Structure 1
Amino acid sequence: MLEGLPPNGASHVMRLDAPEDTARTLAEFLGESFDPAEVATSAFEIENVAEGSGWAVEVYFGEPPDEEMVRELVAVVAPDLAPLAVFATLDKKDWVAASLEGLAPVAIGRFVVHGSHDRAVVGPNQIGIEIEAALAFGTGHHGTTKGCLAAIDAFGKKRRPARTLDVGTGTGVLAMAAARLFHAPVLASDIDRVAVATARANARANRAAPEITFLHAPGLGAGDFRRAGPYDLILANILLAPLKLIARPLARLVAPGGTVVLSGLLPSHANAALAAYRAQGLHLVRKRTIEGWVALELTASAGRPRRR
């Protein structure tokens, strides 16, 4: 991952005209679909446009984007507009700072993810997780994160995990949710040093730091993962390609009878992810689709031996 967009050089932008409601929804959706360290979005009013428009969405990338993937994401919100997206290269600025501003609180199960200005919305029987704009992915406002939070909430109604692993922790939302709900050890890792630093600071601010160990690691090969496991609950809110790459080492870390939650998947990607994990002895328990994103809940058979 990038550790913030450099101030000079070339940047890349996708622009799309849309009605106001669509533009606002699309900007928020795309803003949460990418790491804010790499991508920033905006929706704004424009003049002298064709009838039926009046607003535009712009998405700024630090590296040339996968245009087909971006159009596929646009199509989740506005399928008719996806072919109209225009990509261009322009002088780079620092676009990141405002990429997460103005997001409303999100309530999923017992969790409420909010900014500091919305602390009052957290009820006495709810678990508040406070997140501000930061250079890391995951504020709870995106369908991928919502699916994982729903899975954590559902898991907690059945059992309490002895250990939880959060792979690709981003801002630490899922790790904090598990720590605050279960009061049990959580190992949270990310390939991005900025994400790890951000998540650690968020955990301290949310009084979740004592239960969470943060680890900067490029994969699951480090001995820290094995020494802290096996895990009754594993959360991996990333994307299809890395999910497939870590299927084998992740399966070795799950405890017999444990649960694995995979997210960051478009509906068209779910079967490929499921196949990779079925090959490692895991079985589908539930499939959640929230805002066009899929979260898969899988389990390891109670009698299944741990793979070496």
Structure 2
Amino acid sequence: MGEARIHFQARQPDADKAFGLLETALEDEGLPVAISEIDEEKQIFEISVYTMDDLDGVRKRVAELLVPLAPDLDLQIEELPDIDWVSHSLEGLRAVRVGRFFVHGAHERGQERPGEIGIQIDAGLAFGTGHHGTTSGCLEMIERVVTAERPRNALDLGTGSAVLAIAVARLARIPVLATDIDAIATRVARDNVRLNKVGTWVKAETAPGFHHPAFARAKRFDLIVANILARPLMALAPQMAQHVASGGSIILSGILERQRQAVIAAYVGQGFRHLKTLHREGWVAIHMKR
């Protein structure tokens, strides 16, 4: 099936409560939740949950979560057209400037300022155009860490569009392994690597975990960048400790501000020390060292 939207309407403040409850409960499951005003005068809002699979299961989960607020809620379902929304919307996105990095689409190619590092990320089916707070925070942290520490190699775990891997390669000119669990993301990453002419340094692989042969070949990394989600990041802490070089750094993102302390604690338990946190639009990028 394609993407579908499970939605319902409610008045404030019930709508705000429902949105907050669903956003908190579903964020780690990767289910986007949105709220929009339908009737300003009557203060009616619509809350939507988007899913691409297990529509019945997600609908049941949403209904169960909302029982305390609205036990008899009538959830509506809308099947959405099969549109590549990244392709559809990227032309309207303005380029992003983060430190020395200039992340842009084809429509703004050649508009780098003197000294800027241009990274072209065209439309694709993978996360990472530079506009989200997690990506921009990582880009700023990458410039700081790479400039200060001069790593000899790097890993971009959960690479998505490969924007972070490309940033490291363009800045440091070092080997970068870019991995993702999604084969489509890996294909998009490889396309972007070719587009940005960093194939000499960046190798993109579909790897479901650290047991993949690509990690064995690279052994340990001076720098690991992981822009995923808080819960998987915490679960990966022991393996991250095994794959970062002594004295190496990790940059972690995809973390909400309220999840920051839990993520830091998981890595401190594996011998890392926290050096800096950048805050962007309710998200954080964390630099730790081992």
TM beyond 0.5: yes
Q: CA deviation at 1:93?
A: 2.5
Q: Secondary structure at the match of 1:120?
A: coil
Distance of aligned partners of 1:15 and 1:193 in 2 relative to their CA distance in 1, 3 Å threshold:
farther
Which residue identity is paired with 2:216?
Answer: R
From 71, 83, 90, the equivalent of 2:78 is 90
Find the counterpart in structure 2 of residue 244 from structure 1.
234
- Cα drift, residue 289 of structure 1: 0.7
CA contact (8 A) 1:284 1:298 kept: yes
Q: Letter of the 1:252 partner, please give it.
A: Q
CA contact (8 A) 1:219 1:246 kept: no
Q: Distance in 2 between matches of 1:173 and 1:58?
A: 29
Report the secondary structure of 1:284's partner residue: strand
2:155 aligned to which of 162, 165, 168: 165
Amino acid at match of 1:209: G
Give the 5 Å matches for 1:138-287: 138-287=128-277
Deviation at 1:247, TM superposition (A): 1.0
Distance 1:299 1:215 in 2: 25
2:9 and 2:44 in contact (8 A); partners too: no
What are the Cα deviations for residues 221-259 of structure 1, in whole angstroms up to 9, with x where unaligned?
223213213111100000012112211111111111111
Distance in 1, Cα, partners of 2:121 & 2:35: 22
Name the aligned partner's letter for residue 274 of structure 2: L
- Alignment correspondent of 1:132: 122
1:77-116 paired onto structure 2 within 5 Å: 88-98=76-86, 100-101=89-90, 102-116=92-106
Q: What displacement does 1:39 show?
A: 7.5
CA distance in 2, matches of 1:156, 1:15: 47
Measure how far apart 1:54 and its partner are: 11
Which deviates further from its counterpart, 97-106 or 119-128?
A: 97-106
Answering whether residue 5 of structure 2 is matched by residue 12 of structure 1, we say: yes
* Percent identity of paired positions between Structure 1 and Structure 2: 39
Gap change, CA 1:197 and 1:284, over 3 Å in 2: same
Distance 1:16 1:171, change over 3 A: farther
Separation in 1, partners of 2:62, 2:286: 26
Contact 2:237 2:267 in 1 (8 A): yes
- Match for residue 27 of structure 1? none
1:138: how far off? Answer: 1.0
* Change in 2 beyond 3 A, CA 1:280/1:42: closer
After superposition, the Cα gap between the structure-2 partners of 1:288 and 1:11, relative to the gap in structure 1 and judged at 3 Å, is same
- In structure 1, the residue corresponding to 2:233 is in which secondary structure? helix
| CA RMSD after TM alignment | 3.3
Distance 1:202 1:56, change over 3 A: farther
Unaligned stretches of 5+ residues in structure 2: 11-22, 64-73
The question of whether the paired residues in 2 share the 8 Å contact of 1:220 and 1:246 is answered with no
Deviations 1:252-303 (A, max 9, x none): 1111111101100001111111111111101100011111101110001xxx
Change in 2 beyond 3 A, CA 1:202/1:51? same
Asked if the contact 1:129–1:177 (Cα under 8 Å) also holds between the matched residues in 2, the reply is yes
SS at match of 1:298: strand
Structure 1 runs not aligned, ≥5 long: 1-5, 18-29, 69-85, 301-308
Q: Is the 8 A contact 1:15 1:59 kept in 2?
A: no
Instruction: Please say if residues 163 and 229 of structure 1, whose CA atoms lie closer than 8 Å, have aligned partners that are also in contact.
Output: no
For 2:78, the aligned partner's letter is: L
Using the TM superposition, give the Cα deviation of residue 121 of structure 1 relative to its aligned residue in structure 2, in angstroms: 2.6
Q: Is the 8 A contact 2:156 2:178 kept in 1?
A: yes
